Structure 1
Amino acid sequence: MKSKLSTAIPVAALLLGLALSPAQAAPGADARFKTIYTKEWKWRVAEQLARGEEERGVSPSFARVDAPTQEARRVYWEGILKELDGIKPGELSPGERVNFAVYRAQIAALLDAQRFREYEQPVNADSAFWTDVTFGARRPFARIEDYRNYLKQLAALPGYFAQETDNMRAGLARGFTPPRVTLLGRDVALASIAEAKTPQEVVFFTPFKTMPASIPATEQEALRSQAAAVIREQVQPAYARVLAFFRNEYVPKARATLAAESMPGGKAYYQSKIVEYTTTHLTAEQIHAIGLAEMAKIRAEMLDTMKKAGFQGDLPAFLQFLRTDPQFYAKTPQELLMRAAWIAKKFDAKADQYFGYLPRRRFAILPVPDDQAPFYTAGRGGPGAYWVNTWNLPARALYSLPALTLHESAPGHAFQMPVAQEQKGVPHFRRAYISAFGEGWALYSERLGTEMGIYETPYEHFGMLSYQAWRASRLVVDTGIHAKGWTREQAQAYLMENTALARHEVETEVDRYISWPGQALSYYLGQMAIQEGRAKAEKALGAKFDIRNFHDTVLQLGSVPLPVLQQRIDQFIAEGGKSPYL
């Protein structure tokens, strides 16, 4: 029997412009499509919304984000969408048909963001423009040109911040802000820079502390002197201005309501976020029902695992035991980091049994910076890095660390993203990250850990199930908050009752869902699509099914809408389950 998700996806595929039935490619259709996306990508690079293939190193400036520029982008993408709608997907060659489905969905999401003026809310409980700009400042640069460009970038920072602050004021005037409760305490990162006693204490000075030996010592000293001056005279005052605005004006006047549907154009806005983050056209009501059904299944697994652990008592007592017993928590940040590294190496021993193609890009395991850690997730991964939050160790359960590591490092984000980037002959826009696919894959990776033997105790297996419940409960909580009138306390209680997450993590996660509508829906729906596709392939192919070929087929796609993924799995089956690299 089909799930509600799989039933909905063919409809989504049609709406995303994907022709599911075979068709004869029309002469010239591919060329017309390529002309459109090539032109738009060059414009995107010129707007500094993307980096050109030949671009290397540090940019000397920031992209403009002021209202007239944003309106011009809306008009431009609206024109691109009209051009795309003049192409019949069925007339494209098979490869370009996939590209069209990915690209049209991408342009539609970018246009929706402009139509709803999302740029007027460049902050949420998870991140903000003033934290985003710090990530490039945490390691040395390779060339002297990078340092010079970096100094120019720092000098441009006040103007960029002024544009973002103007956008926030415009959003504030029309009630388009995160809920006030999710912003409390989020001024820590601003204060750490604005109120630092010396420029050398500021994160932006980090690249100047250790510089390449290829730069002469006298030049190094000159660059350090220039950096100190620009940080003291321009960067810190810019942070101080935003800090004062945030504390005295923005937070006090931010909206008191929680639901996205209570914002201007809220119902349509929330549905646009559902489409963007799930790549389906499911409704909030349908997603809520899926979440409840999946939670019931996972809860049954949790009870069974609790019995295997030999615990005498009910689930609430077991959750309390897991949250409070010292055996489940690291004593030092170094211990947590070392345990994460050990788990990552356990995957390496199994990798070639489950994947034919292994990415060249490796990843480091790093602690989340102190200025961001209090409101940061437990971990985050991507190309080259797996960030582990070592702040508040009593909230970082060791029994959840294997699932977290598989999700954020390998075979999750720090594995999947490099595989996508290493594919040859793929248009630039295919490098973009699609949350339903990327987060769905990372969550699937957690489940895959069971087959790979990563979870060695019932507690670690329960940690994986708790994470599964956490993501399934997001379907319930996100739609509950944004479409069904749930309170913050109601959402927190639901996570406390159905997962083993620590209270601190529950509170930060719920605030993230409240201030970032729809993003939390990506994970479980994406995982369901991959699991359903795999089950279908296993049944159809029987003894010919090779898990390595299946995983390579899924990952070779890069990030795609879920309908495209399902179509590719159908093709994989039709071709007899062969490797995509043959």
Structure 2
Amino acid sequence: MRNLLTIHTALIPVLLACAAIAPRPAQAEAATDPAPTSPEARFRAISSSEWTWRLEQDGHAPGDTPETPQKFLPDVSPAAQAARLTRWQEVRRQIAAISPDSLPAGSRVDYAVYTGQIDALIADQTCRAYEMPANSDTAFWTGIEGDTDFHPKNEAEYRSYLTRLSQVGRYFHDQTDNMRAGLAHGLTPPRVTLQGRDASIAAYLGKPPAETAFYAPFLDMPATIPAATQAALRKEALATIRETVIPAYQTLLTFFRNEYFPHTRTTLSAETLPDGKACYQAAIREYTTTDLTPDQIHKTGLEEIAKIRAEMQQTMKASGFTGDMPAFLAWLRKAPQFYAKTPDELLKDAAWIAKQVDGRIGRYIGHLPRQRFGIVPVPANIAPFYTAARGGAGVYLVNTWDLPARPLYALRALTLHESAPGHAFQLPLAAENKDQPDFRRYSYLSAYGEGWALYCERLGDEMGLYETPYDRFGMLSYQAWRAARLVVDTGIHHMGWTRDQAIRYLLDNTALSRHEVETEVDRYISWPGQALSYYLGEMAIRQARAKAEAALGPAFNIRAFHDVVLQTGSVPLPELTTRVDQFIHDGGKGPYPDEE
């Protein structure tokens, strides 16, 4: 499940639900577009108009940015889905008529990014992804109450929030209609990946309206709102939650348990779905920004696992352990010194690691983001099915559920990836780069974003952040985990692997806990292609860096290189390689004046 802006998909379950007004007819919108003559002006007019429309599809008012709280919940009806496909196909036809060679050099990158976005949106609509609006850890019914730091700032934002709550019944009705259509077409997530996920719906039920998560923003309202207005807003909120929201969740729970879950498919492979081979290849193209085949990716994964395994073996010996690798993995999974005793201990360790990064990062990155981030636990209603952590602009979510599944030896790599200098740096830097069009500032390409975050785990080795052999082994285990995804994702969706095969492969090649392995495998089963982006993206960045180091020699500046990668923003991997080639051609000069 992804929203239309292709923002950081990892945070969708805890972000405010994406929202939209009913889409305007594509033809009517196109008729009002200006008709500039130069290729550059035509491209800007087309992309700007579509981006504004796309924001409205996600629930924003004209003039809003994706950072502005949404005003509406989406129209996800079949008519709206058809209108979106029509609009994006027309946009694709219009931009195809513009030759990239006719654009200035900088605009060619914008063109490549934008074309990839439109192609991915068309593929999602054509493959009817909207008929599967829930997977093993992401669902449309979570996050409507806002993210972990959601708090309206004024009366207008409270009224927008109330509007969204009032639309929950209509929104859930449309989503379940789409799910029924998916059942009829054979388009559902595999049943095994939805086992127990009804608990994330039931978690919203069984409480009085005033004790639900939906009412939390009304418990402490800003003093700038008059007392009488506060009272009226609270009264409306309680009535809306009682009369609309809770009944919608109850109806959804009944539908999920009685009608949907029992009839979901028992197969795993994406290629067994209608148009499955084409849709899986489209997913590979979207998430890796390459045209690699499943067989090529599978082979790469096997080769990289072998390389990482050798490093793991050396690090195990450095720890003083005298047994073999299976014994070492078994010991790591149960040795009590590697596990926090309380949620607060895990959160505080994560915070300490993040502050250690703060003390060293200036030697590795020249231009740092202005936005800070907080560290908070994953919400309880999704924590049992959620990954170990996720991060982004302003937040580092740490899963404190089932502490024996959260090894401390992996926490340093996890923190580097999800917070500083990974997602909590890359995403704000993109948004703060006002030299780029909004469709680049606020959009996310997984190969680039996840590739950067995984690269940051390796960078921690250079930064001296892995203080013990166990910390370093945790990093290598995470590298193996991402390389293993190349094998497992293609194994499941292309080669017919079973769930048990995938679980065993990860248990044999990483130090992940069994709970995390099972959660991750279910994610790969229900989200084809996404898992491929991490390691392929990291490989591209590491290869580009090696090329720059070899070409520039003593002139290579690590801060300038990282600034180039981050300033370029979320781009297809071939475009990132081209930008690093320009960096080499410029003699290692970065985009900012203070890199030295």
What's the TM-score once normalised by structure 2's chain length?
A: 0.91
* Residues 360-414 of structure 1: CA deviation (Å, up to 9, x unaligned): 0000000001111000000000000000000000000000000000000010001
* Residues 163-183 of structure 1: CA deviation (Å, up to 9, x unaligned): 111111101111101000100
- How far did 1:57 drift? 4.8
- What is the match of residue 565 of structure 1? 576
What SS is found at the alignment partner of 2:74? coil
Distance in structure 2 (CA, Å) of the matches to 1:486 and 1:515:
14
Distance in structure 1 (CA, Å) of the matches to 2:100 and 2:350:
45
- How far did 1:218 drift? 3.4
- What is the match of residue 467 of structure 1? 478
- How far did 1:88 drift? 1.2
Q: Is the 8 A contact 1:57 1:146 kept in 2?
A: no
Distance in structure 2 (CA, Å) of the matches to 1:234 and 1:342:
43
- What is the match of residue 178 of structure 2? 167
Does residue 351 of the first structure (1) align with residue 352 of the second (2)?
no
Distance in structure 2 (CA, Å) of the matches to 1:311 and 1:412:
31
Distance in structure 1 (CA, Å) of the matches to 2:332 and 2:581:
42
- What is the match of residue 93 of structure 2? 82
| Residue pairs, 1:318-333, within 5 angstroms | 318-333=328-343
Does residue 48 of the first structure (1) align with residue 71 of the second (2)?
no
* Residues 258-317 of structure 1: CA deviation (Å, up to 9, x unaligned): 000011111111000000000000000000000000000000000000000000100000
Q: Which amino acid aligns with 1:531?
A: R
Alpha-carbon RMSD: 1.3
- What is the match of residue 20 of structure 1? none
- How far did 1:53 drift? 4.7
What SS is found at the alignment partner of 2:321? coil
Q: Which amino acid aligns with 2:413?
A: A
Q: Which amino acid aligns with 1:511?
A: D
- How far did 1:504 drift? 0.4
| Residue pairs, 1:89-488, within 5 angstroms | 89-136=100-147, 139-193=150-204, 195-430=205-440, 431-488=442-499
* Residues 166-210 of structure 1: CA deviation (Å, up to 9, x unaligned): 1111011111010001001111121011x2220122211111122
- How far did 1:61 drift? 1.6
Q: Is the 8 A contact 1:421 1:558 kept in 2?
A: no
Q: Is the 8 A contact 1:138 1:204 kept in 2?
A: no
- How far did 1:43 drift? 2.0
Q: Which amino acid aligns with 1:442?
A: A
- How far did 1:32 drift? 1.7
Residue-pair matches, total: 555
State percent identity of aligned pairs.
59
Q: Is the 8 A contact 1:137 1:203 kept in 2?
A: no
Q: Which amino acid aligns with 1:448?
A: L
- What is the match of residue 49 of structure 2? 39
- How far did 1:464 drift? 0.2
- What is the match of residue 518 of structure 1? 529
- How far did 1:84 drift? 1.3
Q: Which amino acid aligns with 1:435?
A: S
Q: Is the 8 A contact 1:273 1:519 kept in 2?
A: yes
- What is the match of residue 22 of structure 1? none
Distance in structure 2 (CA, Å) of the matches to 1:52 and 1:226:
26
Stretches of structure 2 that go unaligned for 5 or more consecutive residues are 1-36
1:207/1:130 Cα in 2 relative to 1: closer, same or farther (>3 Å)?
same
What SS is found at the alignment partner of 1:366? strand
- What is the match of residue 16 of structure 2? none
Stretches of structure 1 that go unaligned for 5 or more consecutive residues are 1-26
**Greater displacement, 77-86 / 385-394:** 77-86
- What is the match of residue 544 of structure 2? 533
Q: Is the 8 A contact 2:59 2:72 kept in 1?
A: no
Distance in structure 1 (CA, Å) of the matches to 2:496 and 2:231:
58
**Greater displacement, 99-108 / 148-157:** 148-157
- How far did 1:47 drift? 2.5
Q: Is the 8 A contact 2:450 2:537 kept in 1?
A: yes
What SS is found at the alignment partner of 2:75? coil
1:138/1:165 Cα in 2 relative to 1: closer, same or farther (>3 Å)?
farther
Does residue 30 of the first structure (1) align with residue 40 of the second (2)?
yes
Q: Is the 8 A contact 2:563 2:591 kept in 1?
A: yes
1:152/1:533 Cα in 2 relative to 1: closer, same or farther (>3 Å)?
same
Distance in structure 2 (CA, Å) of the matches to 1:202 and 1:291:
45
Q: Which amino acid aligns with 1:229?
A: A
What SS is found at the alignment partner of 1:387? strand
What SS is found at the alignment partner of 1:225? helix
- What is the match of residue 15 of structure 1? none
